[in-house]
Amino acid sequence: SQKIEQNSEALNIQEGKTATLTCNYTNYSPAYLQWYRQDPGRGPVFLLLIRENEKEKRKERLKVTFDTTLKQSLFHITASQPADSATYLCALRNYGQNFVFGPGTRLSVLP
Amino acid sequence: EAGVTQFPSHSVIEKGQTVTLRCDPISGHDNLYWYRRVMGKEIKFLLHFVKESKQDESGMPNNRFLAERTGGTYSTLKVQPAELEDSGVYFCASSQDSYYGYTFGSGTRLTVV
């Protein structure tokens, strides 16, 4: 069956460190993979999209990698700040289908 | 630019009643999506409009759910009659291009008692 897993329900890191979140999938052949941030009581906010033929994408302190052989995406936040604390969701889509979301990882950046 | 607006933000109804959720997408966005999160689980796809046409409604759980998008602008999602398992947060999102990032609304929290 198809499944999307994100490394853990919660991740705590110290301010200034790099946070690394993982997204693993099974029985998908995604053409696109997105990462979103969600704060309590709010809808997800789009951060980055990476295509199947791209290995890496960067945006300011954010970096996403996409390994279709390992069926995994990694999401990095460098020089993390307490304001980065939120739930991060990966979402992927096969060709011709709509995005499917993972369960999310709740990140807490401790001052 | 104004974001995606959802109304109401919260709704508490009794089992068997009818509720209508509304979504106003970003102006000019042809693509409109409904998703929902129930019982703390993953956000699940419900359906996708392109303008006023339903592109994909494979995620609609049953025929108690009816979505419309009048004139390709705002959309409504009606649940009739509501059941307890319909409780959750209903999100609407819109995008110019179905391949790029979606802009989500803040959601409607529906509680069926």
Between chains, do B100 and A49 touch, taking CB under 8 Å as contact? yes
Confirm or reject contact between B91 and chain A (CB < 8 A): yes
The token duo for A90 is 């990966």
Query: Over the range B62-89, which residues count as b (16 or more CB within 10 Å of their CB) and which as e?
Result: eeebebebeeeebbebebeebeeebbbb
Q: How far is B45 from chain A (nearest CA, A)?
A: 7
Answer whether residue B106 is part of any domain.
no
Contacts of A62 (CB under 8 A, 6+ apart): A35, A47, A48, A75, A76, A77
Residue B104 placed within a domain? no
Mean pLDDT for the stretch of residues A72-87? 97
Is the residue at B84 inside a domain? yes
Cβ–Cβ below 8 Å for A46 and B103: yes
Q: Which residues of A touch B31 (CB under 8 A)?
A: none
Q: In what order do the strands lie in the sheet with B75-79?
A: B5-7, B19-24, B75-79, B65-69
Q: Under the phi-then-psi rule, with left for phi > 0, alpha for psi from -120 to 50, and beta for the rest, what region is B28?
A: left
Q: For residue A32, give the 3-state DSSP assignment.
A: strand
Give tens-digit pLDDT for A33-51.
999 999 999 999 999 999 9
Say if the Cβ atoms of B4 and A4 lie within 8 Å: no
CATH of the domain at B74: 2.60.40.10
User: How many inter-chain contacts (A to B, CB under 8 Å) are there?
Assistant: 45
Domain region containing B74: 5-10+26-99
Q: What tokens appear for B47 in the block?
A: 């359906």
Whether B67 maps to a domain, the answer reads: yes
CA distance A25 to chain B (A): 14
pLDDT computed for residue A14 by the predictor: 97
What does the pLDDT average to over B85-96? 96
Could you give the CA distance from residue A12 to residue A16 in angstroms, rounded to a whole number? 12
Number of domains in chain B: 1
Q: Has residue B77 been placed in a domain? A: yes
**Percent of chain A with pLDDT strictly greater than 90:** 81
Phi-psi region of A102 (alpha: psi -120 to 50; beta: other; left: phi over 0): beta
More confident position, A104 or A7: A104
The per-residue pLDDT for B2 is 78
The pLDDT, as a whole number, for residue B5 is: 97
Average the pLDDT over A92-100 and give the result: 84
Domain A3-110 classification at class level: mainly beta
Whether the predicted pLDDT of A96 surpasses 80: no
Whether B56 contacts chain A with CB within 8 A: yes
Highest mean pLDDT: which range of A17-31, B12-26, B97-111: B12-26
Mean pLDDT for the stretch of residues A57-81: 96
For chain B, counts of helices (H) and of strands (E): 0, 11
Contact status, residue A48 vs residue A92, Cβ threshold 8 Å: no
Identify whether B48 is part of a domain. yes
A chain contacts of residue B91, beta-carbon cutoff 8 Å: 43-44
Q: A1 pLDDT exceeds 90?
A: no
Residue A70, pLDDT above cutoff 90? yes
Q: Above 70 in pLDDT, residue B1?
A: no
Contacts of A70 (CB under 8 A, 6+ apart): none
Pairing of strands A72-77, A19-26: antiparallel
Summary mean pLDDT of chain B: 94
Domain membership of residue B107 (yes or no) is no
Report the pLDDT value the prediction gives residue A9, as an integer from 0 to 100.
Answer: 79
* Closest residue on chain B to A41 (Cα): B106
Distance (Å, whole) CA A75 – CA A81 = 15
A101 contact residues in B (CB cutoff 8 A) = 35, 42-44
Residue B63 maps to a domain: yes
Q: Are B34 and B90 in contact (CB under 8 A)?
A: yes
Give pLDDT, residue B9.
Answer: 97
Nearest to A100 among B45, B98, B103 (CB): B45
pLDDT single digits (tens) B30-83? 999 999 999 778 999 999 999 999 999 999 999 999 999 988 899 999 999 999
For residue B44, the chain A residues in CB contact (below 8 A) are 101
